[in-house]
Amino acid sequence: MQKKLWGGRFKKKIDPRFEKFSASLQWDRRLLPYDLQIDAAHIKALKKCGVLTSSESRKLLAAVAALQKAGARGSLKLDPAAEDIHSAIHAEILKKVGTLADKLHTARSRNDLVSQSSRLYCKEHAETIYRLLLNLQEAIVLKAEETQDIFLPGMTHLQNAQVISQGHIFLAYAEMLERSKARFILTKEVSDVCVLGSGALAGVTFALDQKLMARELGLSGITSNSYDVSGDRDFILNFLSACTVLGTHLSRIAEDLMIAQVRGAALIEMDEAFCTGSSMMPQKKNADFAELARSSVGVFAGNLTGFLMTLKGLPTSYNRDLQWDKGYLFDSVEVCEELVGIFIALIRTLRVNRQRAKELLKDETLYATDLADSLVQKGVPFRTAHEQAGRIVSFAESAGKPISKIGLDLLRSFAPKLDSSVYDLFSPEHSARLKKTIGSTHPSRVRSEIESWKKKLRRDR
């Protein structure tokens, strides 16, 4: 049984059931590399303020370096009975340098240690997810370039609405993910703070060089309030929130893909590598990854909500309730990174059925808005034009024929201002070229946006 870092005032042994319940090593072993980075920085600061001699500093740094190498190789065996990662590391250093290891805990608490290691974890993984999102955006923009000349029915309320470029739809996904990228940048920024020297809540007695420790850890700022730091987990809330919004974005994209691969539309084909079959029905090719991606937001939202409930009503400064943060954080981060990585491969292998897109465009009600707008160009008030176009659509549906096959005289009985130019409207390319606004599906706008995205993503790297 390990000697507790806090056991001096206790006469009784801890209840083994409580000890098992309160242990966090199963979660916070992920903080190993960050804790060891902090140890190295702290050793240098202790030497500078005179707590450690040069010889002691060298021995401790060598011990930490050895643990870092073993950890990187995966050969470091931590005591599974350790209370947490900090206790486990202390035990390993104790094996290497004896009681000199006890000096390492001078001028720090597990409160500022866990806060700092968690911040380093968040900073690194926010950057990882940011990079993954860049890769996903690049795959999406390339797919937009590949499909920019494919026109199909855009939908609102899951009903055909207007003609739109498939490339324009893919670019919408790039826009969504750009907003998520901004959230992970913010997450990285709020984690980029050195909190060492805060101690348990009031600061420490020794003149630690906090700027030195910040530089050693690659951090750009130093906390200005030790009391706030011990209970602050806003940086984790930011991470969980960013994962939740990203999960929502990916869920909506996955739903689009699911709708587009239904047999009735069969517009999008997903690579078999991301599908499974049925144990009963031999013909099935199920887009299981898209379904799992669609539902993954439940993981993210659950973790965010769970941790919010943990924080609600906690007094400021440290409380043991905060130990639950790691389970929520690590679960969301690991699912998020895995999810985005697979999404990149999925998008790269997607195929769009050009022939099916053409068949879907046989629904000429897609041009009803263009029809109304053409009447406005002839001086008809839009509300009147809207009503006249609606009557034409209703007649065409009841007659069971395309609008383009209805004679001009009959069309003019609904909309007197129409002339023969009305038949030019029933072309997807023409419909797209009618759009004049920035951000529209006009082919030149889509091409321009693709080039802009390519340049932007190169800059973002």
The residues carrying an active-site annotation are 157, 278
Q: How far is residue 231's CA from residue 227's CA, in Å, rounded to a whole number? A: 7
SS3 153: strand
233 DSSP assignment: -
Cα angle: 294, vertex 297, 300; to 5 degrees: 155
3-state secondary structure of 155: strand
Cβ-contact 317, 227 below 8 angstroms: yes
Backbone angle region of 281, left / alpha / beta, with phi > 0 → left and psi within -120 to 50 → alpha: beta
CA angle 359, 365, 371 (to 5 degrees): 125
Q: State which H helix or E strand residue 130 sits in.
A: helix 110-147
3-state class (DSSP) for residue 76: coil
Query: Rounded to the nearest 5 degrees, what angle is found at the Cα of 366, between the Cα atoms of 365 and 367?
Result: 85
Please list, residue by residue across 325-336, b when 16 or more beta carbons sit within 10 angstroms of its beta carbon and e when fewer do: bbbbbbbbbebb
Distance CA(221)–CA(124), nearest Å, equals 16
Contact 318, 111 (CB under 8 A): yes
Complete DSSP assignment for 354-393 = HHHHHHHTT-GGGGHHHHHHHHHHTT--HHHHHHHHHHHH
State whether the Cα torsion 380-381-387-389 is positive or negative.
positive
Length of the chain in terms of residues written: 461
Which residues have C-beta within 8 Å of that of residue 453, sequence separation ≥ 6? 137, 141, 144, 171, 174
Tokens of 433: 């070229």
Cα distances (angstroms) measured from residue 203 to each of 107, 109, 133, 234? 8, 10, 39, 20
C-alpha 52, offset from chain centre: 43
